[in-house]
Amino acid sequence: MSSNILYQVGNTPIVEINLKNEININLYAKLEFFNPTGSVKDRAAAYIIKKILDENIINKDTTLIESSSGNFGVSLSAYSRLYGLKFICVIDKNTTPLNEMLIKTQGAQIIKVTEQDKFGGYLLNRILKIKEILNSTPNIYWINQYENPLNAEAYYETLGNEICNGVLGNIDYIFLGVSSGGTITGVSQKVKERFPKVKVIAVDIFGSVIFGNTPQKRYIPGIGSSMVPNILQRAIIDDVVWVSEIETAKSCKELLKEHNIFAGGSSGSVYAAIKKYFSKKEIREPLNVICIFPDRGERYCTTIYDDCWCNEYLIDKERKTIND
């Protein structure tokens, strides 16, 4: 038993997904949307705030600040409140109204950036805004998920361990979506220690610059980035698979229709990437493949799960790109 729901981070379930066309793949998904505020980011928020308090890096009067397109903002708001800390969340125009409302409801102060940066996203301008606030506010701590080693450490200590202990036998492949790079950095370090032959496959979205692709306007939050995260330098990655936003939306709908999993955008990206990756490979021996599903579908009801939105934003975008 726990004295507070927010202490119930981790120990999320793993389910098997039956890939009909790939009889030699045992696919397992770790459902991170079972975390207290609904996403994998609870792990980083809970771990980092506790650690910096325990080590007196901050005190009870410190204000926390972070840039987030959604899930991390929700998690940090909840865990800041748990510890009685003030939290400023810098969001942008792409943040869905639902996420904005969730962050606000959890008690954060919101600052919204509305001007796009040179890559067509908002991240660089969000960071500029943070630097401005840091310069004018005493006793303030920037969580800085793109650079803070504690972000990766949170996943090394928690999710990485659970994955290593959660699947019977060996792990041959692990697929993870990347945004700040915290999850893949921590998890890759841990699983490679336990299963040195495991192949870690990063999943990114076209339009994200993380692995050197051309910047392009993106609409689905949670995966990809318009800057290369420093934290990723310590990740141990064997391969990268890029998927489009349309493939992401289609795969989310397939997960729901065929496997009853109502998952968020990056889960669809990861599922699309797995199918793409193995469709080109001949698999002679059965493989154990594990993937992470970071959040639930509700947060994408007015985007990915809305056919009108998909037509307007994703299909039109693909047509324009093909015509260009």
Ligand X SMILES: Cc1ncc(COP(=O)(O)O)c(C=O)c1O
Min separation Cβ 135 and ligand X, Å? 26
37/62 with CB nearer ligand X: 37
Q: How far is it, in rounded angstroms, from Cα 243 to Cα 282?
A: 21
- Residues in 50-109 at the binding interface with ligand X, rule: CB under 6 A: 71-72
Interaction of residue 218 with ligand X, rule CB under 6 A: no
Candidate ranges 92-100, 127-135, 173-181, 280-288; the one touching ligand X (CB under 6 A): 173-181
- Residues in 253-282 at the binding interface with ligand X, rule: CB under 6 A: 264, 266
22/161 with CB nearer ligand X: 161
Interaction of residue 36 with ligand X, rule CB under 6 A: no
Q: How far is it, in rounded angstroms, from Cα 50 to Cα 270?
A: 30
The answer to whether 181 and 235 have CB atoms below 8 angstroms apart is yes
- Give 164's contacts (C-beta < 8 A, 6+ positions apart): 171, 190, 191, 194, 195
Interaction of residue 207 with ligand X, rule CB under 6 A: no
Interaction of residue 226 with ligand X, rule CB under 6 A: no
Length of the chain: 324
The answer to whether 94 and 120 have CB atoms below 8 angstroms apart is no
Q: How far is it, in rounded angstroms, from Cα 312 to Cα 291?
A: 30
Interaction of residue 39 with ligand X, rule CB under 6 A: yes
Q: Which of 252, 232, 238, 246 is nearest to 294 (CA)?
A: 252
Task: Return the sign of the alpha-carbon dihedral for residues 222, 223, 226, 227.
Answer: positive
Min separation Cβ 266 and ligand X, Å? 3
Pick the binder of ligand X from 125, 180, 188, 216 (CB under 6 A): 180
22/51 with CB nearer ligand X: 51
Compute φ and ψ for 292, nearest 5 degrees.
-110, 130
DSSP state of 263: B
Size of the site for ligand X (CB under 6 A): 18
Q: What residues line the site for ligand X (CB under 6 A)?
A: 39, 41, 71-72, 177-184, 222-223, 264, 266, 294-295
